[in-house]
Structures are given as structure tokens and as C-alpha cells.
Amino acid sequence: MNERDDASGHQKAQALVEIKGVNKHFGDFQALTDINVSIPRGQVVIVVGPSGSGKSTLCRTINRLETIDDGGTITIDGTALPEEGKALAKLRAEVGMVFQSFNLFAHKTILENVTLGPIRVKGVSKKDAEEQAMKLLDRVGVAHQAKKMPAQLSGGQQQRVAIARALAMKPKIMLFDEPTSALDPEMVQEVLDVMTDLAKEGMTMVVVTHEMGFARKAGDRLLFMADGKILEDTTPDQFFTEPETSRAKDFLSKIL
Ligand code: ADP
Ligand code: MG
């Protein structure tokens, strides 16, 4: 056994994301309490929990849209989350985020939505950015819509564009915060399919979702949150069949 191996004989590679002792307050309200999560490269982490349990806050903290209180730390690929400035912009580029509301730029074409980041933040030429964007739009099945405006696309198509836009920055990790919960039911699967493909390709992902089929198929790990704490850190199969805590049992009885 070499020194990189742990006691169980598994190889210990450096985690891509290390979240240690993270707390987050909004005034007197504690939204996150002592969050500790280490996410290896390529892992797909599903996050579930009741409304208000801190799932979005956790995603936003990983992306540094929220500051960390009380001395917790988050490192991404060995680099601590920077406070501001250029380093923060670079970090944000490495952490792709897809929200419930697609958040596309309404007055830009689909193509421009995908090229803007690489051109402005990464200094990619317009030609190269467009070439890459067309490949990504093709990959998510909306290349033929490239010249349209967001409002001309369905919700499912817009969300797939949002995924392409995040991928255009060549992120090391993708965060998805309830990416299908604002969609009409018939459009949910087309977005989950794109996410399943990404997972298969080895993308490291944190996905807040209550889509159990997706969680079991694509998820390697599941975190159950309640009251700003991680109460269970397990596998999707284990969680959905044998939840440990009464909070989880209660939660599942409401969503299943
Ligand atoms: P979830 O995504 O699990 O539904 P959130 O992370 O959005 O939960 O919110 C967790 C708690 O933090 C909620 O009680 C919410 O009201 C509170 N919260 C979130 N953002 C803010 C904010 N900017 N100011 C005050 N309270 C907030
Ligand atoms: Mg939320």
C-alpha cells in the first residue's frame, strides 16, 4: 500500500472541491451550519432537502455568490475561494452554474448568450468562441436555434442553452440548482438527458434536484440537508430505500 492509499486500499486523489467548516448567516438566521464536504473529481453529488434547508445557499457559497462567515474554507482544485477581483472572475469561470430560472440574457441571441463569457472573461476571439458555441449548442440539441432570441425558445430549450453557456467557460465543476423545477413536465426529461450525458462524460457535478430517477441513475452520492445542516451523506439508492434520519423519512413521505 503506498502513502496515497487510505486504510481501505482506495486511492486518495486530491478532492476537486473541499468544503470545511462552512457556516453562513443572514443576520441572526443561520442558513448553513458546519458544512464539511469533499468532492472528488468526476463525482456527481445530488443535494436534496426541504425548502429553506440551505441547498441554494450551499451552491451559491461554492460559487462565491455568497460570502463564508466564521472561518470556514472552500478550495477548488487546491485554490481557496478568492474574495474579489480578477481571481474571483477566474474562479467563477471554473464553476459553472445553472439556475432554476434560466437567466439567459434576454436581448442577446442564443449564440451571443454562449459566446459572451468566453469573449469577455477569457479573451477568446469571436470566431473561436462562435465555433465552440455552435459545437456546444449542437451537443445540447439547439444548434438550429442559434440566431433566435431566448423568448422564442421553449423553457426546456432555454435551459439547455443555459447549460451550453456554462460549459463554454470550460468549468471544472457544474452546479445545478433545481434546473428542471420551473419547466413544464414534458420538458424535464430533455434537460435531464443533457445532464446525464455530462455526468457520463465525467463532469464533476453538484445537482440540487428532487428528480429521483435522475438521482439514482446519474448520482454517485446524495446529501440530505435540513435546517442548514447535512444530515445524511450517502448514495441515492441507499437514501431513497433506507433513509436513516426521521427528517429524511418525513421528507421522502412528502415527495414520493
Ligand atoms: P433551499 O434552496 O434549500 O430552499 P435556501 O438556501 O434558498 O434554501 O435558503 C435557506 C434559508 O436561508 C431560507 O430560510 C432562506 O429564507 C434564507 N435565505 C436565503 N438567502 C437569504 C438572504 N439573501 N437573506 C436572508 N435570508 C436568506
Ligand atoms: Mg433553493
Going from the Cα of 178 to the center of ligand 1, the distance in angstroms, rounded, reads 14
Question: Which is the closest atom of ligand 1 to the Cα of 228?
Answer: 10
Dig out the grid coordinates for 105 from the structure. Answer: 440574457
DSSP result, 111-155: HHHHHHHHHHHH---HHHHHHHHHHHHHHTT-GGGTTS-GGGS-H
Residue 203 · residue 17 · CB < 8 Å: no
Where b means 16+ CB within 10 Å and e means fewer, 11-43 reads eeeebbbbbeebbbeeeeebbbbebebebbeeb
Where b means 16+ CB within 10 Å and e means fewer, 72-110 reads bebbbeeeebeeeeeeeeebbbbbbbbbbebebeeeebb
Query: Is the pTM for the entire model greater than 0.95?
Result: no
Report the alpha-carbon distance of residue 64 to residue 249 in Å, rounded. 32
Residue 196 · residue 217 · CB < 8 Å: yes
Report the alpha-carbon distance of residue 183 to residue 170 in Å, rounded. 26
Ligand nearest to the CA of 55: 1
Going from the Cα of 4 to the center of ligand 1, the distance in angstroms, rounded, reads 39
* 3 state SS of 52: coil
Question: Cβ < 6 Å from ligand 1: which residues?
Answer: 26, 29, 31, 49, 51-57
What does the pLDDT profile of the chain (256 residues) look like in tens digits? Answer: 344 444 444 445 679 999 999 999 999 999 999 999 999 999 999 999 999 999 999 999 998 888 887 778 899 998 887 777 777 877 888 899 999 988 899 999 999 999 999 999 889 999 999 999 999 999 999 999 999 999 999 999 999 999 999 999 999 999 999 999 999 999 999 999 999 999 999 999 999 999 999 999 999 999 999 999 999 999 999 999 999 999 999 999 998 7
Ligand nearest to the CA of 29: 1
Residue nearest to atom 15 of ligand 1 (CA): 52
ipTM of predicted assembly, 2 dp:
0.97
